[in-house]
Amino acid sequence: MKFMMIRTYKVMLQKAKEGGFTALVPSLPGCITEDHTVEEAISMAREAIELCVEKLKSRGEAVL
């Protein structure tokens, strides 16, 4: 049997000076992305979180 952990991450959205939105994930330093709309920024943040978590796991680092 295989188990999967489900984690929840807070995403902070900031309006960018150039337009669009920046999405930051405070509990994953360096996990930052941006896009044109709130919905797109949130979607990009989900993808960025997955990539950051994969990278941490591949390095053998703790995933919070």
Q: What does the pLDDT look like over 15-51, one tens digit per residue?
A: 999 899 999 999 999 999 999 999 999 999 999 999 9
Angle, alpha carbons 12-14-20 (nearest 5°): 125
Q: What phi and psi, each to the nearest 5 degrees, are found at residue 61? A: -90, 160
Residue appearing with tokens 């950051």: 52
Domain boundaries, the chain: 12-58
Q: Which amino acid is at 45?
A: A
- 31, two tokens: 């996990």
Beta-carbon count within 10 A of 47 CB = 10
Angstrom distance (rounded) from CA 34 to CA 56: 21
User: For the whole model, what pTM was predicted?
Assistant: 0.84
